[in-house]
Amino acid sequence: MILGGMQRPAAESPGLRLINMSTAYRDSQLVYVATKLGVADALTDGPRSAADIARAVGASSEALERVLRGLYLLGVFDQLEDGRFAQTDASELLTARATAGVREAVILWGQEQFRAWADLLKTVTTGEPAFRQLFGDPFDYYDHQRETGEMFDAFMEAGARQLAGIILNCDLPASGTIVDIAGGEGRALATILQALPHARGLLLERPPVAEKARVILRAEGVIDRAVVVAGDCRESAPRGGDVYVLMRVLHDWDDRSAGAIISAIARAMQPASRLLVVQRLMPERLTRDPQHALVVDSDLMQMVYNGGRERTLEEYRELMHSAGLVVHQSMNFFGGMSVIEARLAL
C-alpha cells in the first residue's frame, strides 16, 4: 500500500510524488486544527502532555494526541522523551502574540479557502470562482463574519509595512499627497506618512474598513495629515493626488473590474500625477524558479477566490492603455514584487 501525507522519502518515485501531492491536504488540516484550537498558546509556559493540552483547548485527549504526533513528524511541535509536547520556532508563529500573519493565514486557508479549493473542479469547468459560489462576495463576507473578518484584516495588514517600504523606494514627493486606493486599515499609508513628515495622505476604502482605518491612522499619529474616504474604487477615486498607489489590489479582480479601477484613478489624476501598482508579475515564460512558483500559486488563489488573476507586464500595459495611461517604467523589488509606474497619456 502506498501511503501519502507525511511520508517523505529522500528519492520519491513519480507515483509516490503524485500520491504525496494528492494527500498534502492532510498536513494542512493538521496545522489548521492545532492553530484553530490554540495549541501553540497552550504551550507558551512550557511542555505539556496531550491530556493537559486537550483540557486547556477543549478537545478530545486521544484525538488531539494523534494530531500532535502527526505535527511532531512535520516539525511543527516537538515531543520530549517523557511524551510531553513542546514549542518549536515554527509553532511560535502560530501563537496569538505572533505578528507575522502566519497564524491568521493558516486559519483562513484552513476554513473557507479550504472549502473553496475543494470545489476547484467546479471553478475550472464553469469559470466561476468557487469562493463566490459558496459564500458570495468575499469582501462582503469578511465584513459580516466578525472573527474570520478580523483574521482576514490581520493577515492583510501583516505585509502592509513591507509594501510601504517598496513604495518609499519609488521617489515619492516629500510634501505631496499620497492616495492609497483600497488601502485596507491604513497601516501602509501610516508607514509612508511617518517616513515623509511633510506629506499628506488620502485613503479610499469600503465603508466598514474605512472606519477601522481612521482608528489605525489616529493610533499611528498621522490622522492630522490623513483623510479617509469611504467608497468603491471601481467607481471613483479622490482627486488631487500627486501619487496614487495600488498595493496588491488589481490581482483581486478580473480584467473588467481591474480596468474600472484604473479608469477611475485616471479620471482623478492631474497631468503630473503618477500611479504606482505593486504586484507580482506573471513571467512571459515559466520556469521552475521559486519566484515563479509564488506568482502561479497566487494566480490560482485569485482564480478560486474572486475571479482575479496575476498578469504579465504586457497585460498591465494593455489595461493602462485602455484607461488612457502609459507605463513609464517597471521596477523589481525584494520578495519578487514589482512596481509598475504609469502616467497619463498626454
- Condensed to tens digits (0 to 9), the pLDDT of residues 277-292 reads 999 999 999 999 999 9
Asked if 196 contacts 172 with a C-beta cutoff of 8 angstroms, the reply is yes
Task: Give the separation between CA 300 and CA 113, rounded to whole angstroms.
Answer: 12
Q: Which pLDDT score is estimated for 72?
A: 98
- Whether the model clears a pTM of 0.85, i.e. scores above it, the answer is yes
Active site residues: 251
Average pLDDT over residues 16-23: 93
Measure the CA dihedral 116/117/118/120, to 10°.
100
Instruction: Give 159-344's CATH code, choosing from 3.40.1160.10, 3.30.420.40, 3.50.50.60, 3.40.50.150.
Output: 3.40.50.150
The domain limits of the chain are 1-97, 99-155, 159-344
Over residues 229-238, the pLDDT tens digits come to 999 999 999 9
Task: Give the separation between CA 173 and CA 190, rounded to whole angstroms.
Answer: 16
Confidence check: pLDDT of 2 > 50: no
Average pLDDT over residues 293-308: 96
Measure the CA dihedral 248/295/104/137, to 10°.
60
Q: Give the closest residue to 183 by CA, choosing from 255, 104, 238.
A: 238
**Number of C-beta neighbours around residue 205 at 10 A:** 24
Indicate the pLDDT class of residue 7, thresholds 50, 70 and 90.
low
Buried b / exposed e over 104-138, threshold 16 CB at 10 Å, is bbbbbbbebbeebbebeebbeeeeebbbbeebeeb
Interacting residues of 9 by C-beta distance below 8 A, sequence separation 6+? 16
Q: Which pLDDT score is estimated for 6?
A: 57
Task: Give the separation between CA 161 and CA 195, rounded to whole angstroms.
Answer: 11
Interacting residues of 200 by C-beta distance below 8 A, sequence separation 6+? 176, 177, 178, 193, 225, 226, 227
For a pLDDT cut of 70, what percent of the chain falls above it?
97
Q: Which pLDDT score is estimated for 25?
A: 95
Residue showing cell 501553540: 40
Amino acid at 182: A
Task: Give the separation between CA 78 and CA 87, rounded to whole angstroms.
Answer: 6
Task: Give the separation between CA 232 and CA 173, rounded to whole angstroms.
Answer: 26
Question: How far is the first Cα of the chain from the last one, in angstroms, to the nearest whole number?
Answer: 67
Measure the CA dihedral 305/102/258/116, to 10°.
0
Confidence check: pLDDT of 3 > 50: no
- CATH number of the 1-97 domain: 1.10.10.10
Over residues 28-56, the pLDDT tens digits come to 999 999 999 999 999 999 999 999 999 99
Task: Give the separation between CA 298 and CA 306, rounded to whole angstroms.
Answer: 12
For a pLDDT cut of 90, what percent of the chain falls above it?
88
Please name every residue paired with 202 in a beta bridge, in sequence order, or none if there are none: 179, 227
Task: Give the separation between CA 101 and CA 117, rounded to whole angstroms.
Answer: 21
Average pLDDT over residues 133-138: 95
Q: Which pLDDT score is estimated for 1?
A: 32
Q: Which pLDDT score is estimated for 299?
A: 97
Task: Give the separation between CA 197 and CA 76, rounded to whole angstroms.
Answer: 43
Q: Tell me the DSSP string of 131-185.
A: HHHHHSSHHHHHHH-HHHHHHHHHHHHHTHHHHHHHHHTS---TTSEEEEET-TT
Confidence check: pLDDT of 61 > 90: yes
Q: Give the closest residue to 187 by CA, choosing from 237, 136, 226, 140.
A: 226
> Quick check: do 1-97 and 159-344 share a fold?
no
Q: Which pLDDT score is estimated for 5?
A: 52
Mean pLDDT of the chain: 94
Q: Which pLDDT score is estimated for 149?
A: 83
- Residue 202: φ, ψ to 5°: -125, 135
Strands of 243-247's sheet in order across: 226-230, 200-205, 177-181, 243-247, 274-279, 338-344, 325-332
Average pLDDT over residues 289-305: 95
Confidence check: pLDDT of 249 > 60: yes
Indicate the pLDDT class of residue 84, thresholds 50, 70 and 90.
very high
Average pLDDT over residues 210-220: 95
Residue showing cell 502527526: 70
